[in-house]
Amino acid sequence: MTPATWRVTSIRARLTLWNVAALALILLVLGAALRWSVERNLIASVDGDLRLRIARHQEFWHNPPPEFRIYGPVNTKAMGDTWLPDRGRPPGPPPQGARPDGRDRTKLEPGPPRQGGAFAGPGPWKRGGRRPQWTERASEAGYDLAGRAMFPMGAGKAWLSSGFDRAAKGKQTFATIRREGTEVRVAYAPLQRDGAVLAVVQVAYSLGDVGLAVANFNRTLLMLAPVGLLIAALGGLLLTGRMVSPLRRLTSEAASMGADDLSRRLPVAGRDEFATLAETVNGMLGRIEHAFEQQRRFTADASHELRTPLTVIKANAGLALADETLPAEHRRSVASIDRAAGRMHQTIQDLLLLARSDAGELTPNLRPTPLAGTLEDAAECAFPHGDARLSLECGDLMVTADAGQLTRLFTNLFDNAGRHTPPDGRIVAEARREGGKVVVTLRDTGAGIDPEHLPHVCERFYRVDKARARQHGGTGLGLAICRSIVQAHGGSMRLDSRPGEGVTVTVELPAA
């Protein structure tokens, strides 16, 4: 995994981050919905249990067992001073204090004290039994319509007055309240007989277990969510890696193509978007190759067409200059024409050489060549009258090269260095053997080249405005020709420079 793969600017990293962010949002929404659903289902389960308890109380009051008797006024508002008769006894008020055991039971006697925890209380009575059932998390209490506790005695007032009032009017009510630091689900329901509300039952259940279950569920979600996101991130990296691998292959193939190798095409695999991209790029490469080919043909054809009239011009100018009777004014004009034709002829020769190089026809005649003699010939061509600034230090080194093309290579380099080195400067050419190569280093003490121009100085017709004006410089083809000659020999050429410190040209050629 390269460092560039992990940069947020890469498609792979951005896709992974977007996938993880989307998954985190989905988990957040689903987790919140699932938590709400679990909590509501648990509360609904508690409500179902409360309804069962209420139903037992309502059934008990609606259809009490035969031995159950109430000997006191229960609902004076609804029934006046009537009494609730038990089964098997004739209607009518029972005698005052009439009980088999002789005790007066005009009202309910206090029951046993409350036991258990905060929500311990009597459960629904068993059919046929007189003892209440006790449970830990549930609390049940009955109240008359005046709000007095009927069972268990001393239970206190109803916990939720609004729920009690609604139940007294015949409506069931469920609510969640906080009692002694704990959430409680409480329900109120009317106790009826013959359509009249006689009392109200309060049934409560602690939600401590529900809160604990929801808390455990929250912890489970919080523990599993990071694991899920990590797995999603790793899976996203693997999937996006496989997805963008064709793009990396296309990028590698496109980066390996050069201006001299436009006939190559990108591989097309499959029928997806990357295949479409490769086909589009291949079409663009075809158009660029066609344009380059037209440009090469135009350069070669134009150079060939111009060479013949230039030859005629130089020939006639030479004949005119050979005439001693030619007036001085005419001689100066003809000499100027001859020099311009010579420069144009040299430019055409350079263009023809570059056209041959582009067409792959610049094939040097390679043979062992002494480097010292080649450098001396090039120095003589560049400085016909000699130059004290130049010094050669090459020794007896042999290279495998075409002597003519090699002479032209170093002639262009010496000429370029001579134009940009001051009269009191120095031009030093050194050569050394490094393995199977001969490295030639040419240094001058000229003005140098600015860093922004350095990558482009080997391009055709490129000129550095401050240092290579047209009236003092060449045609802008010299370094381009040098690079073509070096590449044709299987070598390399590199330029290094700093403003004010001159230029260093390093040429590597195969050793003989």
Residues 6+ apart with CB under 8 A from 445: 421, 422, 425, 426, 427, 501, 502
Average pLDDT estimate for 47-63 = 90
pLDDT at 350 over 80: no
Looking up tokens 């016909």, which residue turns up? 384
Q: Which amino acid would we find at residue 51?
A: R
The distance of Cα 378 from the centroid of its chain, to the nearest Å, equals 57
Q: What is the structure's pLDDT at 83?
A: 33
- All CATH 3.30.565.10 domain ranges in the chain, comma separated: 367-510
Spatial separation of the C-alpha atoms in residues 276 and 448, rounded to whole Å: 47
Looking up tokens 């609902």, which residue turns up? 75
Do the beta carbons of residue 378 and residue 414 sit within 8 Å?
yes
- All CATH 1.10.287.130 domain ranges in the chain, comma separated: 273-358
Pick left, alpha or beta for residue 154 (phi over 0 → left; psi -120 to 50 → alpha; otherwise beta). Answer: left
pTM: 0.46
Tens of pLDDT, residues 103-128: 433 333 333 433 333 333 333 433 33
Q: What is the structure's pLDDT at 98?
A: 42
Confidence tier at 278 by pLDDT (50, 70, 90) = confident
From residue 64, how far is each of 61, 188, 329, 429 by CA, in Å?
Answer: 6, 20, 147, 125
- All CATH 3.30.450 domain ranges in the chain, comma separated: 11-87+111-213
CATH class of 11-87+111-213: alpha beta
Average pLDDT estimate for 260-279 = 80
* No. of helices (H) and no. of strands (E), the chain: 9, 14
CATH superfamily of 367-510: Histidine kinase-like ATPase, C-terminal domain (3.30.565.10)
Residue range 273-358, CATH number: 1.10.287.130
Residue 110 DSSP label: P
Give me the percent of the chain exceeding a pLDDT of 70: 79
Average pLDDT value for the chain:
77
* Highest mean pLDDT of the ranges 255-264, 280-289, 294-303: 280-289
Tens of pLDDT, residues 225-260: 888 888 888 888 888 877 778 888 888 877 877 766
Q: What is the structure's pLDDT at 464?
A: 67
